[in-house]
Amino acid sequence: MTEPHQINIVRIAHVFYVHKEIDRALEFLLEFGLRQVKRVGKSIYFRGTGPDPFVYCAQEGDEDRFGGVAFVVESESDLEAAQALPGASAIYPLTDAPGGGRCVTFHDPVDKFPFHLVHGQTLQEDVKAFPQLEFNFVRFSFFLTLMRPPDTSSQHKNTDRRTKLKDSKKVGPAPVHKLGHFGMCVTNFAKAYDFYTSHFNFKPSDLVYEPSTGRDITAFLHLDRGSELVDHHCFFFFEGPKSHVHHSSFETHDFDTQVLGHDWLRGKGYENCWGVGRHIMGSQIFDYWFDPSRFIVEHYVDGDLVNDESPVNRSPATPGNLHVWGPDLPPTFMH
């Protein structure tokens, strides 16, 4: 059997969601920390502080549904090869989208959710960066029962961390930097895993198995870019009875920003799904929210980076392997 052509992906780019109540969705997304950059027809485009021309597109429609994720491919030849994927479109121009470019859309071979591959977008200048703050760490060493003083090399000296958090100019949404990952519930894990790891440069960082059978049921996939460090996962999926998008996750600047954003959303009356807490697989500090259409979106910070030297971890599916600290896992979170 001929091996499939492997399409090389560079990074995750943006997601599409369809909302019946587009104005409520718009209000939430702005409070979540996205920046509106364009509205054309029934589509609203949002960007973060990074170079991607947009990271989220909200579309008005008759039902709430997930419109798919887009990844940037490495070359025009990768885009051309994508036309041979199951149910794939021909290459078409992204006429209305910020940044332009060209795209191929295919559908997952089992669960039929849309998947977009793009090339040739015009990137934007980063929004003015936040300050890179130092943190205090206390480090002790014990040698021959002698306790040495803490290492103060990383501590901020003759300055302070008073960020005027209660200043009205500082309090507000947690600005989104980029789209970090998205997740799906799939109805056939084995087929999904074989398809995405054979047709693309997706590689597992973590696999989770069912203890009673030993069968893998969840995969956290990163992009194999050789020695280049990449996010621990940009795509994850787990097996369940009905396919649906689980969540899309957006990186923000730091923990202070994340918790300020948490308080801001809570103060606006939005419903927290789970958080704030620290994951085990990927290590991110997470904060999940329901939008008005009941889709889950996440703010995260401080995730792991991996490359071709990172081992593949495999662990059992238990409630305790999802977080180190934070609120108890909601019973419906993985449904």
Residue 153 domain-assigned (yes or no): no
Q: What are phi and psi of 139, to 5 degrees?
A: -120, 125
Taking the chain (335 residues) in runs of 10, the rounded mean pLDDT of each run is: 80 98 98 98 97 98 98 98 96 97 97 97 82 60 48 52 50 94 98 98 98 97 98 98 97 96 97 97 97 98 97 92 93 81
Residue 23's H or E segment, with its range, is helix 22-32
Residue 148 domain-assigned (yes or no): no
CATH of the domain at 39: 3.10.180.10
pLDDT for the residue 142: 47
Looking at the 3D structure of the chain, how many domains does it have?
1
Residue 313 domain-assigned (yes or no): yes
pLDDT for the residue 24: 98
Cβ atoms 17, 67 nearer than 8 A: yes
Global pTM reads 0.90
Residue 29 domain-assigned (yes or no): yes
Q: What is the CA radius of gyration of the chain?
A: 21
Max CA distance (Å), the chain:
72
Structural domain containing residue 209: 9-121+172-325
pLDDT for the residue 221: 98
Residue 297 domain-assigned (yes or no): yes
Residue 136 domain-assigned (yes or no): no
Tell me which residue of 216, 249, 191 sits closest to 56, measured CA to CA: 249
Residue 127 domain-assigned (yes or no): no
Residue 125: is it exposed, middle or buried by C-beta count within 10 angstroms (0-12/13-18/19+)? exposed
pLDDT for the residue 5: 79
pLDDT for the residue 3: 64
